[in-house]
Amino acid sequence: MSTLLEAAFAPLSEELGRLRPPGMAVLDAHTHLGEDEDGQRMAPDTLLEFLDTAGPGSQACVFALHDPDRTPAYRRPNDRVLDWAQESGGRLIGFCRLDPADDPVAEAQRCLERGARGIKLHPRAQAFSFDSPAIEAIFAVAGDAGVPILVHAGRGMPPMDALSDVALRHPEVTLILAHAAIAGQGMFAETLAAHPAVLYDTSCFSPSDVVELFARVPAERIVFASDAPYGHPLTGLFQALRVAALAGLDEDDCRLVAGATMAAAVSGDPLPAARPPRLDAVRPASGPLLRVGAYLMMALGARMSPEGRSDPGRMSPFIAMVRCVSRDPAPGPAEHALLRIDSTMAAAEQLLAEGGPEALAATGLVHGAAVIAATERLDSTSA
């Protein structure tokens, strides 16, 4: 990390040091290695450097991207990922990615014999639904091997109830719903409420999705994840643990979210006993923080647009609006959070002015500021 980046992220990093359970090597439940057709790439050394920023000795579950050489059966990307995991001294835990239309059972068995500790399915990238004999067979293999299946599901409204159906037929398989189950969060939280082993990973750019997750499902079923290279372990863990603090989790429960629950899932150990969700469905909010939160989401939306992918400067007008709201002369109980958000956005503007990789990294500061806006604990009497 350059000195400029280190200085820009130092306030988030310092707070993360206080939030992280002491002496713990955290485990990121969702990261990718390789090269995607969309231009994203991640090498194992870079991922390990990213993970170091989340805490000493941090580990990650790793799986392939949408690599161009994935045919046949994802064999080549899976072999690379499993080799990298093996060379990582235990820090990277390899999953195999399967295409249900391309020999998935043989590929799963081949990878499990090579040491894979989980299976990754991506219904949008591989364009499949969950009501097929191939999916049934994949769940059966996972059940026999005692490994979890991580699924990227819940974007839009395809027939996702078929995923709930197959999961309920295989309660022995731990199912991990990526990105807090995306837009399907409420639907999965209801249809899978009786399933003993559904986990939700926290890799989201919208912190509200993660806050709401703690109102819908047990904290013992929520696992920290970054989705690197799309997200970053530092801001990903900052998000998971700031929301955990908002939900009132104690140190032992924070250890579960930060890695202990996911470690149990990949080791085939029993998951911690689930308790009722910790947050209320209706929660107090600060008006100015809701407003900056909305502008910060607009900045991230601009960054993820086709133009914004190569031009992070598209976030600038929204960052200027955030800073204007943050300097409200009568900020009320959110004063401290607004000051932090303003200084974080000043740092983002500096990175954007720098250009190159620094400007791209400004996205992490916008995400970090959005996390602060969505998770500040407010004492209405302190105005």
Report the residue number, 218 or 233, with the smaller CB distance to Zn ion: 233
Distance CA 348, CA 361 (A): 8
Chain residue whose CB lies nearest Zn ion: 227
Q: Is 209 in the site for Zn ion (CB under 5 A)?
A: no
Give min distance, CB of 30 to Zn ion, in A.
6
Q: Give the tokens for residue 170.
A: 């295989």
Residue with tokens 């398989």: 173
Count CB neighbours of 158 within 10 A: 16
Report the residue number, 107 or 227, with the smaller CB distance to Zn ion: 227
* Preceding peptide of 133 cis, ω within 30°: no
C-alpha distance from residue 35 to each of 70, 83, 234 (Å): 10, 15, 22
Q: Is 93 helix (H, G, I), strand (E, B) or coil?
A: strand
Report the residue number, 118 or 218, with the smaller CB distance to Zn ion: 118
Give min distance, CB of 275 to Zn ion, in A.
28
How many residues contact Zn ion, by CB under 5 A? 1
Identify whether the C-beta of residue 130 lies closer than 8 Å to the C-beta of residue 163. Answer: yes
Report the residue number, 36 or 79, with the smaller CB distance to Zn ion: 36
Specify the DSSP class assigned to residue 198: E
Identify whether the C-beta of residue 338 lies closer than 8 Å to the C-beta of residue 288. Answer: yes
Give min distance, CB of 225 to Zn ion, in A.
8
Per-residue binding string, Zn ion, 217-236, x by CB under 5 A, is ----------x---------
Helices (H), the chain: 3-19, 44-54, 75-86, 104-113, 133-145, 161-169, 185-191, 207-216, 233-246, 251-255, 261-267, 287-304, 316-326, 335-354, 356-375
Report the residue number, 255 or 367, with the smaller CB distance to Zn ion: 367
Give min distance, CB of 129 to Zn ion, in A.
19
3-state SS of the chain: helix, strand, coil percent to 5? Answer: 55, 10, 35
Q: Which helix (H) or strand (E) holds 222?
A: strand 222-223
Distance CA 333, CA 337 (A): 9
Give min distance, CB of 158 to Zn ion, in A.
18
Report the residue number, 209 or 227, with the smaller CB distance to Zn ion: 227
Beta pairing, strands 59-64 & 27-35? parallel
Give min distance, CB of 14 to Zn ion, in A.
28
Report the residue number, 227 or 342, with the smaller CB distance to Zn ion: 227
Distance CA 266, CA 180 (A): 19
Give min distance, CB of 231 to Zn ion, in A.
9
Specify the DSSP class assigned to residue 282: S
Beta pairing, strands 27-35 & 41-42? antiparallel
Distance CA 27, CA 249 (A): 18
Positions 328 through 367 that interact with Zn ion (CB under 5 A): none
Give min distance, CB of 286 to Zn ion, in A.
32
Positions 272 through 301 that interact with Zn ion (CB under 5 A): none
Report the residue number, 225 or 334, with the smaller CB distance to Zn ion: 225
Residue with tokens 């731990």: 174
Per-residue binding string, Zn ion, 60-79, x by CB under 5 A, is --------------------
Report the residue number, 212 or 227, with the smaller CB distance to Zn ion: 227
Give min distance, CB of 32 to Zn ion, in A.
6
Q: Give the tokens for residue 354.
A: 């720098």
Give min distance, CB of 142 to Zn ion, in A.
18
Report the residue number, 36 or 83, with the smaller CB distance to Zn ion: 36
Interface ranges with Zn ion (CB under 5 A): 227
